[in-house]
Chains A and B, each alone.
Chain A
Amino acid sequence: MLHSSGERPPYPRNLDTVKHATETPDVEQPWSELGLKQDEYERIREILGRRPTGAELAMYSVMWSEHCSYKSSKVHLKQFGEKAPENDAMLVGIGENAGVVDVGQGYAVTFKVESHNHPSYIEPYQGAATGVGGIVRDILAMGARPVAVMDPLRFGAADHPDTKRVLPGVVAGIGGYGNCLGLPNIGGEVVFDDCYQGNPLVNALCVGVMKHEDIHLAKASGTGNKVILYGARTGGDGIGGVSVLASETFESTGPAKRPAVQVGDPFQEKLLIECTLEIFKENLVAGIQDLGGAGLSCATSELASAGSGGMRVELDTVPLRDATLSPEEILMSESQERMCAIVEPDKVDRFLEICEKWDVIATVIGEVTEGDRLEIFWHGEQIVDVPPRSVAHEGPTYHRPYERPSWQDALQADDANKLPRPASGAELKEQVLKLVASPNQASKSWITDQYDRFVQGNTVLAQPEDSGMIRIDADTNLGVAVATDGNGRYAKLDPYAGAQLALAEAYRNVATTGAKPLAVSDCLNFGSPEDPAVMWQFAEATRGLADACQTLGTPVTGGNVSLYNQTGETAIHPTPVVAVLGVIDDVTRRTPVAFKEEGQLLYLLGDTKEEFGGSAWSQVIHGHLGGLPPAVDLERERLLAEILISASRDGMIDAAHDLSDGGLIQAVVESCLRGGTGARLVVPDGLDAFTFLFSESAGRAVVAVPRSEELRFTDMCGARGLPVTRIGVVDGAESDSNAVVDVQGEFVLSLAELRTAHEETIPALLV
């Protein structure tokens, strides 16, 4: 062993080849350290008819992990397929990188929401940044140009010191990466709750647009086709657990230290996007897959598994950032900004030429073979020989025990409707101010102003509108709208209803802007699946969401599950985040939230009941969580959406805002502030002022109707059976300093006072 200091052999000396594994069946392997269970390890041996090599063990361990295999969740997730409503718009369903929906005029739209929770807690900037990068590559891999992003975010208490660490980093990371890619950030959420302390939820959504004929799938077919890895060099990023193997295969010199944190390079990703789109344009790929979790292990096994043949890869041809990486580590590496394409031999030159044009490194690392094996070689020696389906698609399935937790009854019995209510107009006024200034209800513009919402020149609506809206064809004005919603408080009280309420709100938000809801993507954030109570929440939420998607006719097209969001025994609130995508034929018909025209009439659509369980009011005023969430009425949601879409298309309304957390008063205040106007409200007959202002009954929206359209609009609602109540009028302009929100007989608040309360909270907490 005569290595001078710092010098290492070019590759591990004790290479664990297939031959070696066959000859040494009894070698002890670190399957447990890699997170495999005994029976899983046994099954791998059974599949292979021998012990796995180190490289094979690494591949199986990561591909059979919860993160990649969905082993705890898939028995529940399959309902999304089984209960999927008939929907002609679906072009590509669950199972691909992202679902694809037909939006007309030959256009297809793909979208997906994903989590990057844990990495964002460890290193907020890079965790959030690489979360954006990952979802953008998923969308790109479908053949689409990414056109917008959104970020549903959840943090611990707004005034907790760790939130001050995590939130600014996450926001800067999302901005730093997304802004640099040139993707408008058009929506999302920011929610604070103690339950996310130590377990922030950083979900990221991306929308992409393509023509039908441009849809690409992740499959490797055509014997002799080349496998090309392109993008960033491979480093030792995100391979934590596999270092167990590395330390066994390396001599005493040892590998270089492996980073726990992946660093994103948005510039590289931007080049990857433009380069890939040019490659698509010239029709140069037969299959494509992005490299995300589990890196090359995942990309090669998924491509081979979905295709018709096998695949042979020369792993030592992979361009490295760190020459000390072992083959196991190269297979595991989660280095960012990489893609893997299957290319016909006569198209390889042109493919490489385009990569060179964009300064993107591209390397032929293998080819599609006859037969059905995934074979990987290292300097000529075979280290992997597996059936790819067994790695990628036939991982273990768990039927984890679940049980309704013992505390659920007591939680639901602790009725929020019995909490003390404001007794006077003065007290109402004080509570309104408190609510609109509370961190969850306050303006998030300090955060969203750090995101570019104008780039690409197609943004029609962006936060704080009800949904983000993007024009996708400048000649016809065709557009799409996306909204994401989730309410962990509701879901904690009743996970089945909570998931449905999340869907209902996102669906309503899309319709409020005038777009027709078409399809769903979801990010299911829960605690540990090993806790039967959490598993019950998960089972209930997925059942609720699948049932509601069936009723509303909006299929789940894909998404992501994030489990183990908990500290010790304490799990986060079950938090299904639901994204709804809708289409609008003419974006000039979109309905904004702003009340702009004095004299317009305000109408409340839907029924208002005494529903305060899980409400913002119960949280802000009483620090309370108990009772039942608002009742779900999906037929009502559908009717409300139809009315809002018709009214937008026929020009009957000038503004609309959905009612959700914070109730009617929150919506009216937001619409007034957005438009710089005041409003006079009258409490309708049959309702008390408190319920009128703060109830969170679902299936409601407030609209501003020009007087000339009043009859036509109310007639339409009447004819179709939607309750419609006149509640006031837009009155007073901020520019004349005479704008107030006046709830007749109860209180008057100046717009200036409301603006200060609403807009100064977040900067004061975070700057």
Chain B
Amino acid sequence: MTARIGVVTFPGTLDDRDTQRAVRLAGAEAVPLWHRDKDLKQVDAVVLPGGFSYGDYLRAGAISRFSPLMETVIDQAKAGLPVLGICNGFQVLTESHLLPGAMLRNNHLHFICRDQKLRVESDRTAWTADYTAGQEISIPLKNIDGRYVADERTLDMLEAEGRVAFRYLARGEAADGYGNPNGSLRDIAGITNEAGNVVGLMPHPEHAVEPGIGTGRTDGLGFFTSILKKLVNV
């Protein structure tokens, strides 16, 4: 039996079907989860996919955070359930206070869609074990509220505890996907909780899993193979 990975659909979620495909391509079973259910259907891990849940109205992720399903996800995440939040999912995680900080409007105020270069800073999370720390990957970024902010104390803590999971590669030509695309503090693209089971990032690994589709790269597949190996080895 392979691992069961839940993919949540909130009203306005966009990347749920893409994420399910990525989960299947990695060899796991994708289990659709609905925001109104409290039941997680015995999944071994949960992905909160990207999109504009509730239209990003009020604040991105602010309304979804109060869904019945999230109440369960929050409880179980604290107990160790692996959770990955991508883009809007990351915003839901910060609104839920499972991860510190918040996402604000990009510093240039525009939606930005591009192939983005990142450095994997931590390979010790449940979702990054198939990468090596310091590895550079390129996956699509697409958002308007992607500027990560937190107070200095929190940022220092994240750095000290090795919880900055991904950083934008700031140096290089913008045309090649380099640069901090939105003014995120300390070039932070994604972070993890202390235990390493909850990870959130703005770029989209699920859109870089098949050759010839999207950017044509498969740099994002490692997120899904990482969690699968971890779950199967347990």
Residues of A in contact with B (beta carbons under 8 Å apart) = 172, 175-176, 179-182, 265-268, 270-271, 357-359, 448-460, 471, 474, 587-588, 590, 755, 759
C-alpha spacing A271/B57, complex, angstroms? 14
CB contact between A455 and one of B15, B54, B210 (< 8 Å): that residue: B15
A452 contacts which chain B residues (CB < 8 A)?
111, 113, 142
Query: Lowest 9 CB-CB distances: which A-B pairs, in order?
Result: A267-B55, A182-B14, A457-B18, A180-B52, A454-B207, A454-B140, A450-B111, A452-B142, A175-B111
A755 contacts which chain B residues (CB < 8 A)?
175
A270 contacts which chain B residues (CB < 8 A)?
11-12, 14, 52, 55
**A359-B11 contact given A176-B111, A450-B110, A459-B214, CB 8 Å threshold:** yes
Residue picked from B21, B22, B175, most chain A C-beta under 10 Å:
B175
Is there contact, CB below 8 Å, between B110 and A457?
no
CB contact between A182 and one of B15, B114, B213 (< 8 Å): that residue: B15
A268 contacts which chain B residues (CB < 8 A)?
55
Q: Sort chain B's interface into a size bin.
A: 20 to 34
Q: How far is the CB of A497 from chain B (nearest CB, A)?
A: 37
A358 contacts which chain B residues (CB < 8 A)?
11
Is there contact, CB below 8 Å, between A180 and B56?
yes
A359 contacts which chain B residues (CB < 8 A)?
11
B175 contacts which chain A residues (CB < 8 A)?
755, 759
A471 contacts which chain B residues (CB < 8 A)?
213
CB contact between A458 and one of B11, B15, B112, B213 (< 8 Å): that residue: B213
Residue of B nearest to A459 (CB): B214
- In the assembled complex, B51 has its CB within 8 A of some CB on chain A: yes
Q: How far is the CB of A149 from chain B (nearest CB, A)?
A: 13
Chain B, residues 212-226, CB within 8 Å of chain A (1/0): the string is 111100000000000
B206 contacts which chain A residues (CB < 8 A)?
457
C-alpha spacing A175/B210, complex, angstroms? 25
- In the assembled complex, B17 has its CB within 8 A of some CB on chain A: yes
Is there contact, CB below 8 Å, between A453 and B18?
no
**A450-B21 contact given A179-B142, A270-B12, CB 8 Å threshold:** no
A453 contacts which chain B residues (CB < 8 A)?
113
C-alpha spacing A271/B18, complex, angstroms? 18
- In the assembled complex, B204 has its CB within 8 A of some CB on chain A: yes
Q: How far is the CB of A210 from chain B (nearest CB, A)?
A: 16
Is there contact, CB below 8 Å, between B11 and A271?
yes
Is there contact, CB below 8 Å, between B213 and A267?
no
B55 contacts which chain A residues (CB < 8 A)?
180, 265-268, 270
Is there contact, CB below 8 Å, between B140 and A450?
no
A459 contacts which chain B residues (CB < 8 A)?
213-214
Residue of A nearest to B56 (CB): A180
- 29 A-B residue pairs with Cβ-Cβ distance under 8 Å, sorted by A, are A172-B110, A179-B144, A180-B52, A180-B55, A181-B14, A182-B14, A265-B55, A266-B55, A267-B12, A267-B52, A267-B57, A270-B14, A449-B112, A450-B113, A451-B111, A454-B140, A454-B204, A454-B214, A455-B15, A455-B18, A455-B142, A456-B14, A456-B17, A456-B18, A457-B21, A457-B22, A459-B214, A588-B212, A759-B175
Residue of B nearest to A759 (CB): B175
Residue of B nearest to A673 (CB): B175
Q: How far is the CB of B212 from chain A (nearest CB, A)?
A: 5
> Which residues, 13 to 38 on B, are CB-close (under 8 Å) to A?
14-15, 17-18, 21-22, 36
CB contact between A267 and one of B18, B54, B142 (< 8 Å): that residue: B54
C-alpha spacing A453/B12, complex, angstroms? 17
A172 contacts which chain B residues (CB < 8 A)?
110-111
Q: Known pairs A267-B12, A357-B36. 10 more at Cβ < 8 A?
A: A179-B144, A180-B56, A181-B14, A182-B15, A267-B57, A271-B12, A452-B142, A454-B113, A459-B213, A759-B175
Q: How far is the CB of B138 from chain A (nearest CB, A)?
A: 13
Residue of B nearest to A359 (CB): B11
Is there contact, CB below 8 Å, between B12 and A449?
no
> Which residues, 78 to 120 on B, are CB-close (under 8 Å) to A?
110-114
C-alpha spacing A172/B22, complex, angstroms? 30
Is there contact, CB below 8 Å, between B52 and A454?
no
B14 contacts which chain A residues (CB < 8 A)?
180-182, 270, 455-456
Residue of B nearest to A181 (CB): B14
C-alpha spacing A588/B206, complex, angstroms? 19
C-alpha spacing A175/B106, complex, angstroms? 15
Residue of B nearest to A443 (CB): B175
B18 contacts which chain A residues (CB < 8 A)?
455-457
Q: How far is the CB of B177 from chain A (nearest CB, A)?
A: 11
B21 contacts which chain A residues (CB < 8 A)?
457, 474
C-alpha spacing A268/B54, complex, angstroms? 9
